[in-house]
């Protein structure tokens, strides 16, 4: 039997590429947007750079998102960590410390760096486009969990009965975001303890505690 010397060999595995579609491609584009935001920032992010990072064409990005703002809003919404359960360590101090550490870690995750680049670099009009994402994805969940911790403290008689108000509950996220932006604070464990002991506990604790 004679074997043809011209038999075509199968293509090497690396020459075969599956074309991504639908949710898989969208996830790759959103991940690439977060990566760009966390490395080159808002001002350095381009739709072309996102397409290159996702290993797709620019047209595939523009078919789904007509603007950089729309793409970034969806990337942040998809990537920001979810805070769903308040720590329950046993005292309001320890619960707040644990929650603040979680918030700090989220701020310095890749989505957190992406969010900070938006807050720090966007002009007021652009930031308004992300107001809903920031409020619903970060501020509202955090204040909700702080409220749960404070309410538990009230029920234990550890926290004064009128402490669960909006001004008190806003203090931690406002302070963390303000000092992160203005002072470049990275919120070490020591800084978190100083904030809880010097700011929050005087606001919260019952005079009889």
Q: What's the CATH code of the domain at 132?
A: 1.10.357
Q: Is residue 209 part of a domain?
A: no
Please indicate, yes or no, whether residues 66 and 111 belong to a single structural domain of this protein. no
Q: Is residue 5 part of a domain?
A: no
Q: Is residue 11 part of a domain?
A: no
Please indicate, yes or no, whether residues 47 and 105 belong to a single structural domain of this protein. no
22: left (phi over 0), alpha (psi -120 to 50) or beta: left
What does the block give as tokens for 204?
């919260």
Q: Is residue 141 part of a domain?
A: yes
* Average pLDDT of the segment spanning 18-35: 86
Please indicate, yes or no, whether residues 72 and 144 belong to a single structural domain of this protein. no
* Residue 208 binned pLDDT confidence (cut-offs 50, 70, 90): low
Residue 150 structural domain: 92-204
Please indicate, yes or no, whether residues 128 and 198 belong to a single structural domain of this protein. yes
Q: Is residue 15 part of a domain?
A: no
Please indicate, yes or no, whether residues 110 and 198 belong to a single structural domain of this protein. yes
Residue 19 confidence (pLDDT): 60
Q: What's the CATH code of the domain at 71?
A: 1.10.10.60
- Is pLDDT at 66 greater than 70 in this prediction? yes
Rounded CA-CA distance 60/33 in Å is 14
What does the block give as tokens for 134?
């920031």
Residue in 160, 154, 151 with CA at minimum distance from that of residue 206: 160
Residue 130 confidence (pLDDT): 86
Q: What is the pLDDT of residues 109-154, one digit of tens each?
A: 888 888 888 888 888 888 788 888 888 888 899 999 999 999 999 9
Q: Is residue 12 part of a domain?
A: no
What does the block give as tokens for 112?
């957190």
Please indicate, yes or no, whether residues 97 and 67 belong to a single structural domain of this protein. no
Residue 206 confidence (pLDDT): 61
Please indicate, yes or no, whether residues 113 and 190 belong to a single structural domain of this protein. yes
Q: Is residue 109 part of a domain?
A: yes
Please indicate, yes or no, whether residues 52 and 129 belong to a single structural domain of this protein. no
Rounded CA-CA distance 165/30 in Å is 37
**Hey, what long-range contacts does 59-65 have (CB within 8 A, 24 or more apart)?**
60/25, 60/29, 61/29, 64/26, 64/29
Q: What is the pLDDT of residues 152-168, one digit of tens each?
A: 999 999 999 999 999 99
**Hey, what long-range contacts does 68-74 have (CB within 8 A, 24 or more apart)?**
69/126, 69/129, 69/130, 71/29, 71/30, 71/33, 71/47, 72/33, 72/37, 72/42, 72/45, 72/114, 72/118, 72/130, 73/129, 73/130, 73/133, 74/30
Please indicate, yes or no, whether residues 75 and 133 belong to a single structural domain of this protein. no
Tally of domains within the chain: 2
Please indicate, yes or no, whether residues 103 and 68 belong to a single structural domain of this protein. no
Q: Is residue 167 part of a domain?
A: yes
């Amino acid at each position: 039997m004679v074997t043809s010397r011209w038999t075509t060999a199968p293509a090497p595995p690396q020459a075969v590429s599956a074309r991504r579609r639908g949710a898989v491609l969208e996830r790759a584009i959103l991940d690439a947007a977060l990566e760009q935001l966390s490395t080159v920032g808002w001002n350095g992010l381009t739709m072309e750079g996102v397409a290159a990072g996702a290993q797709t064409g620019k047209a595939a990005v523009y078919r789904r998102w007509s603007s950089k703002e729309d793409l970034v809003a969806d990337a942040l919404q998809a990537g920001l960590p979810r805070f769903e359960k308040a720590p329950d360590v046993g005292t309001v101090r320890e619960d707040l410390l644990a929650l603040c550490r979680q918030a700090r870690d989220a701020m310095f995750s890749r989505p957190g760096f992406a969010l900070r680049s938006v807050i720090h670099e966007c002009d007021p009009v652009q930031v308004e486009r992300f107001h809903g994402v920031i409020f619903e994805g970060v501020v509202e969940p955090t204040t909700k969990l702080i409220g749960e911790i404070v309410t538990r403290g009230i029920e234990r008689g550890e926290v004064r009965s009128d402490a669960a108000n909006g001004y008190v509950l806003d203090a931690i996220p406002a302070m963390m975001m303000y000092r992160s932006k203005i002072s470049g604070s990275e919120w070490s464990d020591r800084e978190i303890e100083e904030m809880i002991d010097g700011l929050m506990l005087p606001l919260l604790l019952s005079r009889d505690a």
